[in-house]
Amino acid sequence: MPDILKKLTTVVIKGKVMAASLVLGSVGLLIPQAADAGEFSNFYSHNHGGSCGAPCAPSCDSCGNGCGNGCGNGCCEESNDPWKLFEEPVGGFAIGGWTQWGYYTESTGMFNSEPDRVNNNQSWMWVEKAADGSNGWDWGARMDFMYGTDANDTQAFGNNPGRWDYLNGWDRGGGYGWAMPQLYGEIANGDWSIKAGHFFTIVGYEVVPAPDNFFYSHAYTMYNSEPFTHTGVLATYKASDDVELYGGWTLGWDTGFDQFGNGSNFLGGASLQLTEEAKLIYILTAGDMGVRGDGYSHSIVLDVAVTDKVNYVFQSDYVNLDTNPGQNDEYGINQYLFYTVNDEVKLGTRLEWWSSDAGFNHGGQSAPAGGQHSYYEVTVGVNYRPTPNLIVRPEYRHDWFPHGAYTQDIFGIDAILTF
């Protein structure tokens, strides 16, 4: 255990130092200076070792940096594989995580709610045994546990207060807190798998875990018109190479082993591989969503590889719920365009229109009573990956609301170190 803690501490400290230096600097500092790059390279080599493409030569001992995989020209080459805190499963369970640090000039009110300071948004650990049904029955399980300023938006806020991680002593002040967004078991056999417990939603395109998103900030649609987690049962059936079906029951939106009111709804849909380049995903929820009321919602995502370097995503959401004090209709259209420059650099933009008759209090601009009101945002950003374990995401975001004659410009940058 001391060795494990020592390794984890080393990773977190390195992540904090590198993230802080990248966040506090200008975008021009995204390309590390030689000394900094060398320092990280030495750290990476020491912990991960090198990967040499040629058989070990007699001069292998001259490498002098601990490469144990053979040598080419007497010098070891760095592996392109990411370094892992635990290279092998522990008791059959893989263990990993990440630490994310960032800065943004203004609050969006959607995850990024602590502006003008460096924040530890997510320090995350996960433990997982994947269920593999390719050879008959198998079982799996997963737990996710996190700390940071994203905790308040990651907790099961669809619960009754004081249940699971919601308003139950998990908040630590200063915008920080703890959350456990996933804890479930899973069984699999052939083309079927069934998970039961507390798990992330399958609705939408953007997700809560930071490494799985291109942008640092989040869309209005994701934050307001989609659940983040569920508690219940979800089955997945791979009908063919091109069709995957989902169906299950949950205790409403954003619950953690609790039921708010009479929360009970269907969660399901389908994923269709239309061509080699295009995939269409339709996910719906219907029934009593708990804290959000009774009704229906769906999300449609079309993901198209236009070329080897260009990727386009179109998303449309619709929500119709009888959220108190009355009907709440929400519509969202999000469009994403990504361009891959090379293995280290990717460019992206997001253009969004979101409309709601309930409104959203953003920058103190809540919607006038009655009628639908529109919210717009456009975000442009860069993903820079100097090493397999580190990604830096600067972005510029512009929001505007015609009903309030309101505009806002936000610059943000974060760094994520995975392990």
Residue by residue, DSSP assigns 311-361 as EEEEEEEEEEE--TTS-EEEEEEEEEEEEE-SSSEEEEEEEEEEEESS---
pTM over 0.85: no
**Whether the predicted pLDDT of 361 surpasses 70:** no
What's the pLDDT score for residue 42? 36
Q: How many CB atoms lie within 10 A of CB 407?
A: 12
Average pLDDT, the chain: 84
The mean per-residue pLDDT over the stretch 209-214 comes to 98
- Asked if the model's pLDDT at residue 228 lies above 80, the reply is yes
DSSP code for 91: T
Residue range 359-368: mean pLDDT, rounded: 57
What's the mean pLDDT in 40-56?
37
Q: Check residue 48 and give its pLDDT.
A: 37
Looking at residue 397, its pLDDT comes to 98
Distance between CA atoms of residues 192 and 133, nearest Å: 7
What was the pLDDT predicted at 327? 67
Identify the CA nearest to 221 among candidates 362, 358, 356, 412: 356
For 176, counting Cβ atoms within 10 Å of its Cβ (0-12 exposed, 13-18 middle, 19+ buried), the class is middle
Distance (Å) of CA 25 to CA 346, 414, 417: 20, 11, 17
List the one residue out of 193, 252, 203, 246 whose CA is nearest residue 223.
203
CB 280 within 8 A of CB 302: yes
State the pLDDT at residue 192: 97
Amino acid in position 199: F
Quick check: helix, strand or coil at residue 378?
A: strand
Cα separation, 184 vs 126, in Å, equals 12
Is residue 388's pLDDT more than 90?
A: yes
Instruction: Give the pLDDT of residue 323.
Output: 73
pLDDT recorded at residue 372: 79
- pLDDT given at position 261: 94
Does the pLDDT of residue 363 top 60, yes or no? no
Mean pLDDT calculated for residue range 348-357: 95
Domain positions in the chain: 90-418
Beta-sheet pairing, 406-418 with 192-200: unpaired
Tell me how far apart the alpha carbons of residues 342 and 188 are, in angstroms, rounded to a whole number.
37
**pLDDT confidence bin for 326, thresholds 50/70/90:** low
pLDDT in tens, 81-128: 899 999 999 999 999 999 999 999 999 989 999 999 999 999 999 999
Q: Given 3.40.640.10, 2.60.130.10, 3.30.460.10, 2.40.160.10, which CATH number is that of 90-418?
A: 2.40.160.10
pLDDT at residue 328, rounded to an integer: 79
pLDDT digits (tens, 9 = 90+) for 55-82: 444 444 444 444 444 444 444 555 688 9
